[in-house]
């Protein structure tokens, strides 16, 4: 019996995420090939022994190559395989001979393409099982772990470490998710492009991430579950401690058909899936934007205790659209308490809207105003429109005389100081009252640079791009909160 | 009888959009005031006499000021008014005395704030009517005309000339719309922030834009119609020649209440509005993103003759999500004809998906492939995912050895040449077969610079940010097409 069969699932995945050494089988000097990019990233990231396996080139990226993984002098914990599909069985035999513990099969052309590919895939799994090798993929884009510094992916956005982990049954979708997350300042702990899931299933990774201390929120892109019942039982336990957010694709007939041809997965009935997710507390999203919106809210916001929202806006039109967006997502805009009205009357000029949405014509982000509203027992959460991180975009107010440059810069710097102070106050209030405060900028867009944006990014309060998206994310927080019993139910 | 009362509506609006001279009443040296920014933009844009009216400062932005518009030596066609609300009646008397033909009242504090403001607003309208002055606003953000070069707005994104015109009952919403459009390379002919519509109504601007030769597509942000019946009759005629796309806010109870306090407008029943829009061929959108998505499609795409869509994708996951998105928007993914299948079998490796969505593992943007599909009588439109304008993002494939810089640049330049050629072929095919082809990039995002993006922007083919949004825009094209009788109806 090999060492790895004696290991339990967690130990096997520990090894896959933090091997002592990695061999790239199919390493290449051709920079349009993934065997080039994966090897390059492994070398750049460093931290472990890396071997290049190639039958034709003596050297790749400055590294001496071996004709087979079996020829490598030291031990090889993990093999990354990028060779053409019909060569994989032979390569897997070499891996077994070498005592490899885990393999990441990047190559496609297997079960997703039809009977011939499915036959090769079954053969590869049989060989691997015989040698106690656990498999990621095939037909995938690798995996990574920002703590161990292992990356078997071909490309990498400038993502940072973070508390999200992602399991995705599509490499392209997962790349889009990682990119979109990093655009919003969100970072990852672990990432798995699970591909055809010939050996390790979505459910295996899920079980592993449940006990992973670096993972606080689990994201998934799913076309079909191999072990639906196991997923349900796992999710039911996990969602009590960590949010699980899933983009289930293949919802429609055309989508299901496409999923079948993509990862050979059976998408199943969407209605059953919808009901099961609801029952086990999984947050279901419709597309990648919504997935990232919810992740941002889960990372940055406390869980609300209800669905009653106060809106602050610097503009009337945005206030109307915000009210529409919140209502459409099943949230409520209650009246403010008489006590809060008194406080706001004392703060604003008489022209303020005198109701919720709060449209003051002034700065709704002002401390006394926010304090009054977040203290109000009628209010569970707030949405702030067009009030944060806009000063730096003064430069967008084009074509001012150059003689004013200094005055403008002074104005911006002073505004930014005030805004950072407001953000710090906001954070204090959010956590004191345990009420989420979503920010959306739809007019002059939020500047993506400067001290204000930096502070927003650090605190995971970067503005949503529309009220619609902020409202959608908040609605998911409320539903999850109700599921957990943190919030009282609707009505 | 003054000159302007003798003018018809078109002549009055012609004058408002292209006056010989403009006076800013409330011109200011204080750069946090709109009286500063509006005057500055007028001066920068030039092309006509500009006067600054200010009682306290002898000079503003290097311009000698006058205490009243009546003191200006030359004629004044248009006055832009930014003074505090209770000073407007006196200022309007001065305008009448001076023979001003049109006034843009930027100031708020009128009907939208309650009875006192409503009284002042009525007084201002009475004075203006007496003098034959037509009014834009009050409580608005001005107007502009890229042909005449007149801008009475405080801020301006780097927008270009174009064929869109916008009428908006919210200044903040309109700013967001103009900004979002310019981000997608879309330009404007005319823009009106209509505010409280105390005199000129949405319907007046609509009638004017209907006959305006520079306007090909009319966009609207509406909270409530002052003349619902007139809007309906106008729209019914206009939509036969020009698309009208409207974001009707105040759809929900909370939204309606907010609209009332914003522009004193009564939002009315949303169901009636929905039915009326359908009957008169108005394209209704739910938010600003959707408004811009549809505008982009209308500018760049031929009208489809049906709802049967072919999907091209470089990735399986995105293909599944695209199929879902199209189905959710009521579109269809038919089988390809046997003839098309033969052609694709001859083009692709045997691993291609062999159905719609077309997932080839190769470049779906390749000419023979696109040609075969667009020629297919089973297909009315196409959606291309993740295949265009991605080469320049090779740089995003981080941390390649510097020794490869030259090779990478060469690779990118060659890829870009091919892509530009593909775009040119695509345009030819789109117009030959009169079939829209939407592009969406969701993985590695489209580079926003370089020859490929420039070409996409010129041809109004810039990629949609998600398949969902591309599908939504295409669905609106199909509905409009069916309304016009260009497309056969659904089913």
Mean pLDDT of chain A: 90
Residues 204 through 223 of chain A touching chain B, CB cutoff 8 Å: 221, 223
Q: How confident is the model at residue B2 (pLDDT cuts 50, 70, 90)?
A: very low
A467 has a chain B CB within 8 A of its CB: yes
Mean pLDDT of A328-342: 95
Phi, psi of A387 (to 5 degrees): -120, -5
A252 has a chain B CB within 8 A of its CB: yes
Q: Which of B399 and A358 is assigned the larger pLDDT?
A: A358
Using the predicted structure, report yes or no on whether residue B217 has a pLDDT greater than 70: yes
The nearest alpha carbon in chain B to A260 belongs to B320
Beta carbon pairs, A and B, within 8 Å: 254
Picking from B135, B133, B136, B188, the residue whose alpha carbon sits closest to that of residue B158 is B188
Phi, psi of B81 (to 5 degrees): -115, 120
Mean pLDDT of B393-397: 58
Query: Which one-letter DSSP state was computed for residue B235?
Result: H
Sign of the alpha-carbon torsion through A284, A290, A292, A296: negative
Q: How confident is the model at residue B491 (pLDDT cuts 50, 70, 90)?
A: very low
Q: What is the pLDDT of residue A491?
A: 42
Using the predicted structure, report yes or no on whether residue A159 has a pLDDT greater than 80: no
Query: What is the distance between the terminal CA atoms of chain A, rounded to a whole angstrom?
Result: 60
Predicted structure pTM score: 0.93
Q: Cβ(B262)–Cβ(B112) under 8 Å? A: yes
Question: Chain A contacts of B322, Cβ < 8 Å?
Answer: 258
B349 has a chain A CB within 8 A of its CB: no
Q: What is the pLDDT of residues B257-294, one digit of tens each?
A: 887 766 666 567 888 889 999 999 999 999 999 999 99
Using the predicted structure, report yes or no on whether residue A217 has a pLDDT greater than 90: yes
Residues 35 through 64 of chain B touching chain A, CB cutoff 8 Å: 37, 40-41, 44, 61
Kindly compute the dihedral angle of the four CA atoms of residues B92, B97, B101, B105, in this order, to the nearest 10 degrees: -10
Helix (H), strand (E), coil (C) string for A125-193: HHHHHHCCCEEECCCCCCEEECCCCEECCCCCCCCCEEEEEEEECCHHHHHHHHHHHHHCCCCEEEEEE
Q: Which helix (H) or strand (E) holds A211?
A: helix A202-211
Q: Cβ(B186)–Cβ(B165) under 8 Å? A: no
A319 has a chain B CB within 8 A of its CB: yes
Q: How confident is the model at residue B1 (pLDDT cuts 50, 70, 90)?
A: very low
Q: b or e along B249-274 (b: 16 or more beta carbons within 10 Å of the residue's beta carbon)?
A: bbbbebbbbbbbbbbbbebbebeebe
B32 has a chain A CB within 8 A of its CB: yes
Q: What is the pLDDT of residue B114?
A: 85
The nearest alpha carbon in chain A to B44 belongs to A399
Picking from B336, B362, B332, the residue whose alpha carbon sits closest to that of residue B348 is B362
Residues 370 through 409 of chain A touching chain B, CB cutoff 8 Å: 386, 396-401, 404, 407-408
Q: What is the pLDDT of residue B365?
A: 65
Query: Which one-letter DSSP state was computed for residue B201?
Result: -
Å between B4 CA and nearest CA of chain A: 32
Strand partners, B381: B309
Using the predicted structure, report yes or no on whether residue A2 has a pLDDT greater than 60: no
Q: Cβ(A192)–Cβ(A166) under 8 Å? A: yes
Mean pLDDT of chain B: 90
Mean pLDDT of B193-212: 97
Q: How confident is the model at residue A153 (pLDDT cuts 50, 70, 90)?
A: very high
Using the predicted structure, report yes or no on whether residue A390 has a pLDDT greater than 90: no
A334 has a chain B CB within 8 A of its CB: no
Mutation target for B interface from A111, A158, A172: give the one with most B CBs within 10 A: A172
CA angle, residues B273, B476, B146, in degrees to nearest 5: 85
Q: What is the pLDDT of residues A225-283, one digit of tens each?
A: 999 999 999 999 999 999 999 999 988 888 888 877 666 665 678 888 899 999 999 99
DSSP string, B349-394: -TTS-SSSSEE-SS-TT-HHHHHHHHH-TT-SEEEEES-SS-GGGG
> What's the token pair of residue B283?
């394209």
> Which of A327, A400, A407 is the closest to B253 by Cβ?
A327
Half-sphere exposure of A113 (CA within 13 A, CB side): 19
Give the separation between CA B202 and CA B9, rounded to whole angstroms: 13
Q: Do B156 and A408 touch (CB under 8 A)?
A: no
Question: Chain A contacts of B350, Cβ < 8 Å?
Answer: 113
Kindly provide the ipTM of the predicted complex, given to two decimals: 0.90
Using the predicted structure, report yes or no on whether residue A284 has a pLDDT greater than 90: yes
Q: What is the pLDDT of residue A389?
A: 63
Mean pLDDT of A103-129: 94
Give the separation between CA A63 and CA A61, rounded to whole angstroms: 5
Q: What is the pLDDT of residue B94?
A: 98
Assign B285 to helix, strand or coil: strand
Would you say how long chain B is, in residues? 491
Q: How confident is the model at residue A3 (pLDDT cuts 50, 70, 90)?
A: very low
Q: b or e along A328-354 (b: 16 or more beta carbons within 10 Å of the residue's beta carbon)?
A: bbebbbbebbeebbebbeebbeebbbb
Q: Do A287 and B315 touch (CB under 8 A)?
A: no
Mean pLDDT of B136-158: 92
CA distances, A83 to each of A53, A133, A279, A450 (Å): 10, 18, 42, 46
Q: What is the pLDDT of residues B73-95, one digit of tens each?
A: 999 999 999 999 999 999 999 99
> What's the token pair of residue B424?
């040119």
Domains of chain A in sequence order: 1-135 (3.40.50.720), 157-300 (3.40.50.261), 302-484 (3.40.50.261)
Question: Chain A contacts of B364, Cβ < 8 Å?
Answer: none
Q: Cβ(B177)–Cβ(B292) under 8 Å? A: yes
% of chain A at pLDDT higher than 90: 69
Q: What is the pLDDT of residue B155?
A: 83
Give the separation between CA B358 and CA B310, rounded to whole angstroms: 7
Strands B63-66 and B59-60: antiparallel
Q: Which of A346 and B350 is assigned the larger pLDDT?
A: A346
Using the predicted structure, report yes or no on whether residue A306 has a pLDDT greater than 50: yes
Q: Which of A166 and B419 is assigned the larger pLDDT?
A: A166
Q: Do B258 and A353 touch (CB under 8 A)?
A: yes
Q: What is the pLDDT of residues B348-389, one digit of tens each?
A: 887 788 899 998 766 666 667 888 999 999 999 999 987 776
A443 has a chain B CB within 8 A of its CB: yes
> What's the token pair of residue B119?
């009284």
Q: Which of A104 and B30 is assigned the larger pLDDT?
A: A104
Picking from A333, A420, A442, the residue whose alpha carbon sits closest to that of residue A382 is A333
Mean pLDDT of A56-62: 94
Q: b or e along B404-416 (b: 16 or more beta carbons within 10 Å of the residue's beta carbon)?
A: eeeebeeebeebb
The nearest alpha carbon in chain A to B391 belongs to A32
């Amino acid at each position: 019996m090999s060492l790895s069969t004696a290991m339990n699932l967690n130990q096997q995945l520990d090894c896959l995420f933090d091997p002592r050494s990695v061999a790239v089988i199919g390493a290449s000097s051709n920079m349009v090939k993934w065997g080039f990019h994966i090897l390059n990233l492994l070398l750049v990231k460093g931290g472990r022994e890396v071997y290049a396996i190639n039958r034709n080139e003596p050297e790749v990226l400055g590294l001496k190559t071996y004709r087979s993984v079996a020829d490598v002098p030291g031990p090889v914990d993990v093999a990354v395989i990028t060779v053409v599909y019909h060569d994989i069985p032979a390569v897997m035999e070499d891996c077994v001979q070498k005592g490899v513990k885990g393999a990441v099969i990047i190559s496609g052309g297997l079960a997703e393409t039809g009977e011939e590919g499915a036959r090769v895939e079954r053969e590869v799994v049989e060989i691997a099982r015989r040698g106690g090798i656990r498999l990621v993929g095939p037909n995938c884009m690798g995996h990574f772990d920002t703590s161990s510094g292992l990356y078997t992916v071909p490309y990498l956005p400038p993502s940072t470490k973070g508390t999200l982990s992602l399991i995705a049954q599509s490499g392209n979708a997962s790349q889009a998710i990682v990119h979109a997350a990093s655009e919003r300042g969100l970072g990852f702990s672990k990432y798995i492009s699970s591909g055809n899931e010939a050996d390790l299933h979505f459910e295996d990774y899920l079980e592993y991430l449940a006990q992973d201390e670096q993972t606080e929120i689990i994201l998934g892109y799913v076309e079909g579950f191999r072990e639906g019942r196991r997923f349900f039982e796992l999710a039911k336990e996990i969602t009590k401690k960590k949010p699980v957010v899933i983009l289930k694709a293949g919802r429609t007939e055309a989508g299901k058909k496409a999923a079948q041809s993509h990862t050979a997965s059976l998408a199943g009935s969407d209605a059953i899936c919808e009901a099961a997710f609801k029952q086990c507390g999984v947050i279901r999203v419709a597309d990648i934007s919504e997935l990232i919106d919810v992740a941002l809210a889960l990372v940055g916001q406390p869980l609300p205790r209800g669905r009653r929202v106060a809106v602050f806006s610097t503009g009337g039109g945005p206030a109307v659209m915000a009210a529409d967006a919140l209502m459409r997502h099943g949230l409520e805009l209650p009246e403010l308490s008489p006590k809060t009205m008194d406080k706001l009357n004392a703060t604003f000029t008489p022209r303020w809207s005198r109701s919720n949405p709060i449209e003051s014509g002034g700065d709704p982000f002002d401390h006394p105003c926010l304090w009054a509203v977040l203290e109000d027992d009628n209010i569970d959460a707030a949405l702030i429109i067009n009030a944060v991180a806009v000063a730096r975009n003064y430069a967008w107010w084009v074509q001012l005389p150059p003689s004013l440059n200094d005055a403008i810069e002074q104005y911006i710097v002073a505004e930014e100081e005030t805004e950072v102070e407001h953000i710090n106050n906001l954070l204090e209030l959010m956590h004191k009252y345990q009420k989420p405060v979503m920010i959306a900028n739809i007019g002059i867009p939020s500047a993506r640079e400067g001290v204000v944006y930096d502070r927003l990014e650090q605190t995971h309060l970067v503005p949503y791009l529309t009220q619609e998206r902020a409202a959608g994310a908040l609605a998911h927080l409320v539903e999850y909160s109700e599921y957990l019993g943190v919030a009282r139910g609707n009505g």
